[in-house]
Structure 1
């Protein structure tokens, strides 16, 4: 071993192991001091102030600095000014606090640094991922030994893979056309994707990346519950066919970003089957309901999907990023299959060597399966389910709190654990002014480090949103945030009225 660089890596030497223990201990202390012990969900620092700290320091100095100095700098400039995702008042996005078991797994998988593309870079890791995928397929009702899947970076990648395989499967079965070899078929401009108007933006993004264009996505209106209207879908399919257009994929959503709405999966599955359309379900948000005895029924029909997106960095409480793409029939992976002599030669396929690169659009890929495996092992299904059930009950309780406050408007009953609402001023204001007022409330909460909440738009109105993934958040926490929302709304409303009077010379 070249000992000149031995202390820079964890290795067989006692010196490197001693340094690793020391550095890991110091890192833990920074995380506890500057992050876990924070009394605020965000420091309130402005973007320009944060940027200044980095501009004044060389990114790559000629000589390195000590780990002690570096950790102090990172603690005070990065860790101290991060969104504190484990804080009860950090309730903006689908952004969860990670479980301790998953943090231990992150340390292990980062140190092991396995690459999940080929067996000879990820021996035991490959087998554990395969075991996890088998369990996930069974969890969502796929037949053992027929279904398959792969870990992904999250919903964006998984949705893209579902639509990629749907496109290529349609071209192959309808026209005997190999998109992988020959590119888009001549009829490609007639291909259409169907989804609800509340579907994730990555459906349109995927259509663009697949060379179909965003115009290929046909959106179906939703009902008062935010669910795709199946009767409108059927009418739309028939109209497309009459116009000689080709609907090849239907994307249902099990947990929309704003309202957590779940499309009528069994009804949509029937229509997809009737018209030989690939049925993909985006369960990035709601997939975790499969662990719950109380709420798994909300996913009825998910086993009928040709492919499924599920994220683990939401209600499975894993560090970003961690998701999976599941496929009901593993034979459909043939549309992705490529062989490289240096990585996954055909001889390996014939010998049964499990090179996972053939199931992914990624080559180098992290060993994220370890995080979910360790979390499931440590907590068990019942404790996972209890967390999910608690946050859904919390959302319903918070909705009731909002209904009790005259100055607040609840936009919809929560399906999962997202709650959308807005502040209603007592003063007569234009709709644009009310929208601006709600945006300013959210900004002021962030600037003062009181709460991190989201903003969105619903029913053509600017709204505020709680995404209550965090099992540490209590009804008292949401009540306190709502009190701040009302107080700041009243302050800003009064300030606005004074400003308007001044402009009019009153």
Structure 2
């Protein structure tokens, strides 16, 4: 194709709108600058004009608008395009950056990371091989080594950025399974599939661990039967004594324990298993030890609360979610192993991509460490820009603020007889419900369900929910360093208002 014939100054006759094809050649800067400028204005409006975390729009109304759009009729300009996007997305997007959002594990994001997103998307490097990423390869590797050092690993650690904690947990469980089969059964699962003994493999988690453990066991052909849930203690942490009893019970039943998965920051309660005690049991019984620190990894940033992760350095592998606790945009996650040689278990070669004869010291290939992604975004640049401009200490201060605001909020709830708080949190997740003692004859679960729904469509403050022993509870998930106890006090008052409205309606 003749590039000169496609310049913006000489558009093809069939073009009646901006030269969208211009992105495909070197003269596209003008078109790019215009599109980015308009998009930037809409981001600015989103940040400046939003005062509540949600518009309150009903799903039926929003889907009806979107279903009317006809892809066969292109829009005439970037202005009309972004006006449409504003109406169907921006105006109703959940604003995680506002203190009234206190629902899920969605942190507000650091501006240096947003700037990095512009470079990442436009340049569009792929992190699988050096010839597609160049400096990106070494930036990612340096950040992996830095994270390993924060964990307490030495220079023998390694890892890879990936899409999220569930994927990292899958890698941890896969290595645990394959390592056991290789070392104890002399069986290579990569080549021969699961051995007959795999039906007896058992992995131990707390009953408050992430659901991805069950999904991953199913994906790997072990079945959910392989996951043994250990009842947690009163603070919703894995109980080491019950864990050891379960390991011995499974052995006596003829099953094969292969791994322990500890949780550093449960999704519901934000509490951390006794990591060092679990490590001792893993060592005693020769089990792989994986720690899911997708939530609790933020403690690596703070000197004040870093001790809560003591024992994480004893793990064989660790899940890190920068997009939960390092103030990074989705997606930014990593899987880290203590011993880089363990990643050889999952290495595969393709002649067109990473042939076995290549010198990987000269031309490194991150794809050798990945199980589910060949083409992979350069998400590491976001964390690089954040750390280089803001530094660990400032990010750690953000973590301190979150934890301390959660502590103040927990004390506030404890002092109010109308709230039942189940547990204080190591991080910032508080599970509770509104249960006014002076009122009688109401269903506490139905009332709290009603409160959550009413708050969602009102849009002033958003909270999450969960079930504990079959009972419905509300949940605060505090990930925003600007959220203070004054904000949470206001949200508790909103909860009371909707609770009283419910009581008056029954």
Correspondence 1:22 to 2:19: no
User: Cα offset for 1:352?
Assistant: 3.5
Distance in 2 (alpha carbons) for counterparts of 1:78 and 1:95: 18
**TM-score normalised by L of structure 2:** 0.94
User: Cα offset for 1:64?
Assistant: 4.4
Q: Counterpart of 1:249 in 2: which secondary structure?
A: strand
Deviations 1:59-107 (A, max 9, x none): x225443111000111122001010011110110000111101100111
Distance in 2 (alpha carbons) for counterparts of 1:46 and 1:35: 22
Gaps of 5+ in 2: 9-18
Distance in 2 (alpha carbons) for counterparts of 1:450 and 1:416: 24
Gaps of 5+ in 1: 497-506
- Specify the alignment match of 2:68 in structure 1: 56
Alpha carbons of 1:350 and 1:122: their partners in 2 closer, same or farther (altered >3 Å)?
closer
Distance in 1 (alpha carbons) for counterparts of 2:363 and 2:418: 63
2:86 corresponds, among 71, 75, 83, to: 75
Alpha carbons of 1:408 and 1:351: their partners in 2 closer, same or farther (altered >3 Å)?
closer
Distance in 2 (alpha carbons) for counterparts of 1:34 and 1:227: 39
Q: Counterpart of 1:95 in 2: which secondary structure?
A: coil
User: Cα offset for 1:460?
Assistant: 3.6
Distance in 1 (alpha carbons) for counterparts of 2:330 and 2:439: 43
Alignment of 1:425-464 (within 5 A): 425=436, 426-429=438-441, 433-464=443-474
Distance in 2 (alpha carbons) for counterparts of 1:337 and 1:352: 18
Deviations 1:275-329 (A, max 9, x none): 1100000000001101101100000010110000010111101011110000011
Deviations 1:450-486 (A, max 9, x none): 1111011124421111111011212221111110100
2:401 corresponds, among 390, 399, 409, to: 390
Residues 36 and 86, structure 1, Cα contact 8 Å, conserved in 2: no
Alignment of 1:188-207 (within 5 A): 188-207=198-217
Residues 106 and 323, structure 2, Cα contact 8 Å, conserved in 1: yes
Residues 92 and 453, structure 1, Cα contact 8 Å, conserved in 2: yes
Distance in 1 (alpha carbons) for counterparts of 2:358 and 2:258: 34
Residues 445 and 473, structure 2, Cα contact 8 Å, conserved in 1: yes
User: Cα offset for 1:403?
Assistant: 2.2
- Specify the alignment match of 1:126 in structure 2: 137
Q: Counterpart of 2:64 in 1: which secondary structure?
A: helix
Moved more, 18-27 or 195-204: 18-27
Distance in 2 (alpha carbons) for counterparts of 1:476 and 1:408: 17
**TM-score normalised by L of structure 1:** 0.94
1:270 corresponds, among 280, 292, 299, to: 280
Correspondence 1:210 to 2:212: no
Distance in 1 (alpha carbons) for counterparts of 2:289 and 2:177: 12
Correspondence 1:305 to 2:312: no
Correspondence 1:4 to 2:6: yes
Distance in 1 (alpha carbons) for counterparts of 2:491 and 2:150: 36
User: Cα offset for 1:245?
Assistant: 0.7
User: Cα offset for 1:255?
Assistant: 0.2
Distance in 1 (alpha carbons) for counterparts of 2:7 and 2:456: 44
Moved more, 191-200 or 22-31: 22-31
Distance in 1 (alpha carbons) for counterparts of 2:417 and 2:342: 54
- Specify the alignment match of 1:339 in structure 2: 349
Moved more, 395-404 or 244-253: 395-404
Residues 258 and 456, structure 1, Cα contact 8 Å, conserved in 2: yes
- When the two chains are superposed, the root-mean-square deviation of aligned CA atoms in Å is 1.5
- Specify the alignment match of 1:93 in structure 2: 104
User: Cα offset for 1:253?
Assistant: 0.3
What number of residue pairs does the alignment pair up? 491
2:431 corresponds, among 413, 420, 443, to: 420
Distance in 1 (alpha carbons) for counterparts of 2:332 and 2:293: 14
